[in-house]
């Protein structure tokens, strides 16, 4: 399976973007898809994730109330709607797939549990 992110770009503070993560195929073993980001001079952090079995979601505290994760199963695509963007949201955003490992909602934000990663899409928030 391959993951392809799209939707990144340059946006002003307070603006919005919607990222997409398209999977080349799906499997009954797929457990969750997560969004992670790596800012300059920082490690990769979990932003949001969705459980593909029951729809439960994870959000990092820094994005709660601003970001929304959703899924279109028919298109094998997960979206990350980002609103009220801030300069500190500037990063390369990656999506990743957890295959077959049941984990808690909190653990969905931990990159250790993810098996397949996309190439990333750059999000820059600047005036």
How far are the Cα atoms of 62, 67, 69, 119, 127 from residue 85, in angstroms, in the given order? 11, 9, 15, 22, 11
Q: What are the residues whose beta carbons fall under 8 Å from the beta carbon of 35, sequence distance 6 or more?
A: 19, 21, 46, 47, 48, 49, 69, 78, 80, 93, 94, 95, 96
How far are the Cα atoms of 2, 6, 28, 40 from residue 118, in angstroms, in the given order? 7, 10, 20, 18
Q: What span, in angstroms and rounded, lies between the C-alpha atoms of 107 and 18? A: 24
pLDDT band at residue 7 under the 50/70/90 scheme? very high
Nearest alpha-carbon partner for 125 in 42, 6, 13, 44? 13
Nearest alpha-carbon partner for 109 in 60, 37, 64? 60
| Per-residue pLDDT at 1 exceeds 90 | yes
Q: What span, in angstroms and rounded, lies between the C-alpha atoms of 37 and 53? A: 24
Q: What percent of the chain has pLDDT over 70?
A: 100
pLDDT tens readout for residues 43-81: 999 999 999 999 999 999 999 999 999 999 999 999 999
- Mean pLDDT confidence for 38-43: 90
| Per-residue pLDDT at 41 exceeds 90 | no
- Mean pLDDT confidence for 26-38: 95
Going across the sheet that includes 77-82, the strands are 3-6, 17-23, 77-82, 67-72
């Amino acid at each position: 399976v391959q993951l392809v992110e799209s939707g990144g770009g340059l946006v002003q503070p307070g603006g919005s973007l919607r990222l997409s993560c398209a999977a080349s195929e799906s499997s009954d073993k797929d457990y969750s898809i997560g969004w992670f980001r790596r800012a300059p001079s920082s490690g990769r952090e979990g932003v949001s994730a969705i459980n593909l079995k029951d729809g439960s979601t994870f959000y990092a505290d820094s994005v709660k109330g601003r970001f929304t994760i959703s899924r279109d199963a028919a298109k094998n695509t997960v979206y990350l709607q980002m609103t009220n963007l801030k300069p500190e949201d500037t990063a390369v955003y990656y999506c990743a797939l957890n295959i077959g490992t049941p984990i808690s909602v909190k653990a969905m934000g931990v990159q250790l549990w993810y098996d397949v990663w996309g190439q990333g899409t750059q999000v820059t928030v600047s005036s």
